[in-house]
Amino acid sequence: MKPFSAALNVLRGGLIGLAEVVPGVSGGTVALVVGVYQTVISSAAYFSRGLFAAVRGDLSALRRDWARVRWAVLLPLGLGMLVGIVAGAAVLEPLIEAEPTVVRAVFAGLILASLWVPFRMAGSWSPGMLAVAVAAAVGMFFLAGVPSLQTPDPSLWLVAPAAALAVCALVLPGVSGSFLLVILGLYEPTLAAVNDRDVAYLGVFVLGAIVGLALFVRVVQYLLTTFRALTLSLMTGLMAGSLRALWPWQGEERDLIAPGEDAGSVVLATVIAMVFVITLLVAERYLSPRVNSFSQGSSE
């Protein structure tokens, strides 16, 4: 693989990693926007099949499945994600605490502009697809308003299942893994574990995430293959509904508040974020092939 492609995938992974530490922002959404979603999905499916083959003792199937994993793409992505998660935990956490309104506005702009990705990929919209999208948006809207639980010192027995649930954010655009951790009361403990390099906590979390990814990715891949249009309309609705979590003005219990005096700066931040994503989409379309195309493989 060319050095430029590797560097580009590290950058893409970094953006996905940053998204993973921000509640309300889906890593899967960013993967769609930067053009690696389908590669991640298909490679994760082969990886999980290889793991199940290893459990059965079928080493030939393990080698066959893992040979189809796009390691040249996934390894730089993984490196970038690791850097993005560590940097995000160290930088974004205090930034979100200091300027929560503006930061939420920025991320809302990112999601708003990103809605075009699954909407366009779904093709011609039917009334049924529209109904699925609306139902998903309504469900996600109410989920985003659920007050978070408080778990200051979580048991490691809870960490692995939470990680398995949160990893679906990589598989299903519109679902924020960090937001799910917030609901479960594990967001702040997880950020603290990253910043404190808590090996035990992080080891259990990674193990849970691998198991969750291995189980969930096959379901999503089946849906994308068999019910592509409906699945993409579902993704669109989930992304739209998740904007509830990113309304700039919120109370402590996630209750929505009317715009304040900083409305001008908030709108400006939202517009700038939207322009950034639109620019990224245009550049991705005209400067490099999209590796997440559902009709052809990557040329990365």
pLDDT higher than threshold 90 for residue 130: yes
Neighbours of 73 (CB within 10 A): 23
Place of tokens 């309304």: 247
Report pLDDT for 285. Answer: 67
Residue of higher predicted confidence among 273 and 288? 273
The span from the CA of 235 to the CA of 240, in Å, is: 9
- For the segment 252-287, what is each residue's pLDDT rounded down to a tens digit? 777 788 888 888 989 999 999 888 878 867 766 665
DSSP 138-163: HHHHHHTTSPPP--SS--HHHHHHHH
Q: Would you kindly state where each structural domain of the chain is located, as residue ranges?
A: 3-287
Question: Are the C-beta atoms of residues 24 and 245 closer than 8 Å to each other?
Answer: yes
DSSP at 254: S
DSSP at 297: -
Per the prediction, the chain carries an average pLDDT of 80
The span from the CA of 32 to the CA of 118, in Å, is: 8
- For the segment 77-108, what is each residue's pLDDT rounded down to a tens digit? 989 998 988 888 887 767 777 888 888 888 78
The span from the CA of 259 to the CA of 255, in Å, is: 13
Gyration radius of the chain's alpha carbons: 19
Burial class, 300, CB count within 10 angstroms (exposed 0-12 / middle 13-18 / buried 19+): buried
Is this structure's pTM higher than 0.85? no
